[in-house]
Amino acid sequence: MTDGIPRPTLFLVHGAWHGAWCWEKLTPVLEAEGWRVRTIDLPSTGGSAGVLDDAQALLGELKLIDGPVVVVAHSYGGVAVSQAVADAGNVSHIIYLTGLQLDIGESVLGFAGAPVPPEPRDLEPVPADPIAMFYGAVPRPEAEEAVKRLVPQSTRSLWDVLTKAAWRTVPSTYIVCEDDQALPVQAQQVLAERSGVVHRITGDHSPFLSKPVELAALLSKIALESGR
């Protein structure tokens, strides 16, 4: 409760190849600060689901949350969130954490300038050097443990195009991760222009693992300000 207004629930949505496990260091920090936290495992991770399937899973979870919700969308999670939240009535704000804040008609591969393969695979394997790509600032032992939990990603989720873009009607904030090796800063800055407010954090693609306390403080600040 802040100034008589109930705090929103923070709904954390992971990116490609990851799962709800990636929030395990961040969640207790947020809960210690009084936040209610919700997470989800997207069906496109480890399965053949596409963006619309992920969006339906997100909508199902959102219907179970009482009161306002601030969604934190990491990386690919931004795609599914942009599609889903357009049909949700309880999301007050979207935070794109080095997220793919795509527009209608765009896809992950399209935004990256990569053509859709003529015979796409069902699953996209884990990148060859995930520590360098995702966990450059994470202590090596922790990074190695995280890599063990990565799973293949649905290829279809990467070439499905958005049919809705929630950020056009729901206020949004973008967090640029300045040392990101998975989504280059230049690309993040293009995407961030679609958000109303932009913050920057020094760190890799996974600040929820490399600096959970700093990230929690920033998410708290954004979520509290969004309710005023």
Tokens of 150: 């990565």
Q: How many CB atoms lie within 10 A of CB 176?
A: 21
Name the pLDDT band for 6 (thresholds 50, 70, 90).
confident
Is the pLDDT confidence value at 70 over 60? yes
Nearest to 86 by CA among 24, 164, 155: 164
In this predicted structure, the answer to whether residue 115 has a pLDDT above a threshold of 80 is no
Q: Please say if the pLDDT value at position 119 is more than 90.
A: no
pLDDT value of residue 114: 80
For 25-51, the pLDDT digits (tens) are: 999 999 999 999 999 999 999 999 999
Decide if pLDDT at 3 tops 60: no
| Cβ atoms within 10 Å, residue 38 | 18
pLDDT on residue 150: 98
Whether residue 214 contacts residue 207, with contact meaning beta carbons closer than 8 Å, is answered with yes
Which DSSP string corresponds to 27-69? HHHHHHTT--EEE---TTBSS---HHHHHHHHHHHHTT--S-E
pLDDT the model gives residue 121: 73
pLDDT for the residue 184? 96
Q: Among 58, 97, 109, 48, which residue's Cα sits nearest to residue 80?
A: 58
Burial label for 193, CB within 10 Å (0-12, 13-18, 19+), is exposed
Q: Could you give the domains of the chain?
A: 9-226 (3.40.50.1820)
Mean pLDDT of 94-99: 98
Strand partners, 198: 174
Q: CA triplet 156, 204, 52: central angle to 5 degrees?
A: 20
Instruction: Identify the pLDDT of residue 228.
Output: 67
How do residues 133-144 score in pLDDT, each as one tens digit?
A: 999 999 999 999
Question: In the predicted model, what is the mean pLDDT of residues 104-113?
Answer: 94
Amino acid 120: pLDDT: 63
pLDDT at 154: 96
**Mean pLDDT of all residues in 168-187:** 97
pLDDT above 80: residue 100:
yes
At residue 82 the predicted structure's pLDDT band, cuts being 50, 70 and 90, is very high
Residue 152 CB neighbours (<10 A): 17
Alpha carbon distance 50, 174 (integer Å) = 24
Res 20 pLDDT > 80: yes
